[in-house]
Copies of this chain bind each other. A is one copy, B any other.
Amino acid sequence: MTYPEGAIAKLLESVAFDANGLVAAIAQRHGTGEVLMLAWMNRDAVRETLETGRVTYWSRSRQAMWRKGETSGHVQTLRSLRIDCDGDALLLGVDQIGAACHTNRPNCFFREVREDGLVTISEPIED
């Protein structure tokens, strides 16, 4: 999905960016509910995501725009974007090509607490 300027402006008005100019963005696989990852967006990343329909984050470690999949090919295509009650979190519905996680696992939440400690619950995808 891409959105016209009016809709983008309306959304940006409602986002409560933090002191670093960032908002948390949860990526969820469209249709299955699988939570893929949590990352961050600045104003330009939100705008670019809505204008192009390709999900772009802000990389806090690299301090640069992070066009998801630009090097890996593991692109996220935007299907929907919701904002929470106080405007400091976004929920993206996405189509994910390949692995969402840099470990090549389907999603980043592959370690679960169990009675005996932390257990790895998914393995890397073979490309």
**How many angstroms between the C-alpha atoms of A64 and B78 in the bound complex?**
36
Interface of A is mostly: mixed
Do A115 and B3 touch (CB < 8 A)?
yes
Which residue of B has the minimal Cβ distance to A82?
Answer: B109
Interface residues of A, count at CB 8 A: 44
- A21 interface residue, CB < 8 Å from B? no
A97-127 toward B: CB 8 Å interface, digit per residue (1/0)?
A: 0000111010011111111111001000000
User: Can you give 12 A-B contacts (C-beta < 8 A)?
Assistant: A3-B113, A3-B115, A7-B113, A7-B115, A7-B118, A24-B24, A33-B33, A33-B35, A35-B35, A81-B112, A82-B112, A89-B109
Q: Using CB atoms and an 8 Å cutoff, list the residues of chain A in contact with chain B.
A: 3-4, 6-8, 10-11, 14, 24, 26, 28, 32-35, 37-38, 50, 80-86, 88-89, 91, 101-103, 105, 108-118, 121
